[in-house]
Amino acid sequence: MNRTSPLLRPITISGTLLNNRVFMAPMTRMRANGTECPTLLTARYYAQRATAGLIVTEATQVCAQGKGYFGTPGIYTNAQEGAWSRVVKAVHEAGGRIAMQLWHVGRISHSLNQPDGAQPVAPSAVATRRSKVSVFKNGRLQEVPCEPARELSGDEISVIVSQYAAAAERAKRAGFDFVEIHAANGYLINQFLSTNTNLRTDQYGGSLENRARFLEEIVDAVSLVIGAGRVGVRISPNGVFNDIADSEAEQMACLLAHSLNAKGIAYLHVAEPDWAGGVALTAAFRQGLRERFRNCLVFCGNFDQKSGEELLAQKVADAMAFGRLYIANPDLVTRFASGAKLNVADPSTFYFGNTKGYTDYPSLGSAEATTATA
């Protein structure tokens, strides 16, 4: 065992002991059924990965309006809450810890994925030019361009804030160790944060502080329910996914690192531009976040074991999250510890389907191990 790896050292976040600093990043897998409930297969998928220090679930809509893609799960009905509690139980029984990622897609949607075929909503009526979503139409799954969104009223914004709190209440009842507020990758909260998608002239638009207000209200509302020490926030400074073009992305990230630190949240999770493009984060910028955010700081991007260990050794990061590596390597922690070869992920099974490319990647020592790494 490679016990010297800083990734394998335990960490305590707000009183919760995590066995190591290898986090599983949130990843959309679109295997929920038509009721937006995670299945028993989902429970198996996450339980297989329970040696991660912390699993962050796939993005999960906090209300029907928050849905953008066919096949993603929700956390706003009793059935969804019950189904998620089975997932949490399976992970806990396997010795793991799990955070639920709370999501509202905003303009990244289509009326076919909205309640009563409604128009998608956003901070401002700014259409995305390139983004597509999956819909179920004419008996088959299809990728279609997003539809133009309409601007949210102030009252509607308050309702959405309370829907995040209600979702956190459900996540708490389902047994989750943490909730992670998804403020990244061009979805609703990121649309409020970003200069090109937020053209509002009320208290939610204009200055950095005003654009941050929606996220901060959500963090406060969710913290009241579950405790700030159980809340993580994920941001994606410089990310351009879903047509984000934020002229003040780094300033906003610094402001948030400071204000979220003051709120005492458990962790700040930084999704770096990699698979979806954007100007790379510099070491100086990461250091700036470190100086502002003192609790657990997590980075995720194009890192491998070695580059992840470097950020930990420099004390810039407290933990590292891995996405694609976790799709194909349920026992990633064991492989890091032993230096074993990694399985390679098959992108054709990232979304939809059932067991193939989901629960059938082998762990070391399992019958299929030799063939999958050959």
Nearer to ligand PHB, 185 or 191 (CB): 185
Least distance from ligand PHB to the Cβ atom of residue 323, Å: 9
Using rule CB under 6 A, residue 214 touches ligand PHB? no
Instruction: Report how many residues bind ligand PHB under the rule CB under 6 A.
Output: 5
Site for ligand PHB in 170-189 (CB under 6 A): 184-185
326 is an active site residue: no
Q: CB 203 → ligand PHB: shortest distance, Å?
A: 27
- 187 token code pair: 């979805």
Cβ-contact 49, 24 below 8 angstroms: yes
Report, in Å, the least distance between residue 271 CB and ligand PHB.
7
Q: How far is the CB of 160 from ligand PHB (least distance, A)?
A: 18
Q: How far is the CB of 198 from ligand PHB (least distance, A)?
A: 18
Q: Is 24 in the site for ligand PHB (CB under 6 A)?
A: no
DSSP, collapsed to helix, strand or coil, labels residue 335 as helix
Q: Whose Cβ is closer to ligand PHB: residue 19's or residue 28's?
A: 28
Nearer to ligand PHB, 246 or 309 (CB): 246
Does the footprint of ligand PHB cover residue 114 (CB under 6 A)? no
| DSSP of 343-358 | PPP-GGGSSSSSSTTT
Which one of the listed residues 69, 187, 267, 326 is annotated catalytic?
Answer: 187
- Are 31 and 41 in contact, with CB atoms under 8 Å apart? yes
Q: Judged by CB, which is closer to ligand PHB: 274, or 310?
A: 274
Length of the chain: 374
Q: Which of 5, 19, 20, 28 binds ligand PHB (CB under 6 A)?
A: 28
Q: How far is the CB of 196 from ligand PHB (least distance, A)?
A: 18
In angstroms, the CA 12 to CA 20 distance is: 9
Is the CB of 28 or the CB of 163 nearer to ligand PHB? 28
Least distance to ligand PHB, CB of residue 241, Å: 6
Identify which of 367, 363, 368, 352 has the alpha carbon closest to the alpha carbon of residue 41.
352
40-59 footprint of ligand PHB as x/- string (CB under 6 A):
-------------------x
Tokens of 238: 């410089």
User: Which phi and psi angles does 57 have, rounded to 5°?
Assistant: -65, 165
3-state class of 330 per DSSP?
coil
Residue (19 or 242) nearer to ligand PHB, CB: 242
Who's near 347: CB < 8 A, 6+ residues apart?
Answer: none
Based on CB atoms, which residue is closest to ligand PHB, 53 or 106?
106
231-235/267-271 β-pairing = parallel
CA-to-CA dists, residue 99 to 1, 137, 147, 172, angstroms: 28, 32, 31, 10
**Residue 69, interface with ligand PHB (CB under 6 A)?**
yes
| Residues 282-321, mask of contacts with ligand PHB (x by CB under 6 A) | ----------------------------------------
* Distance of alpha carbon 206 from alpha carbon 185, whole angstroms: 20
Spatial distance between the Cα atoms of 199 and 247, rounded to a whole number of angstroms:
13
Q: Where are the alpha helices (DSSP H) in the chain?
A: 40-48, 78-93, 154-174, 188-193, 208-226, 249-263, 283-292, 305-313, 324-328, 332-338, 369-373
The yes or no reply on residue 194 touching ligand PHB (CB under 6 A) is no
Sites of contact with ligand PHB (CB under 6 A) = 28, 59, 69, 184-185
Active site residues: 187
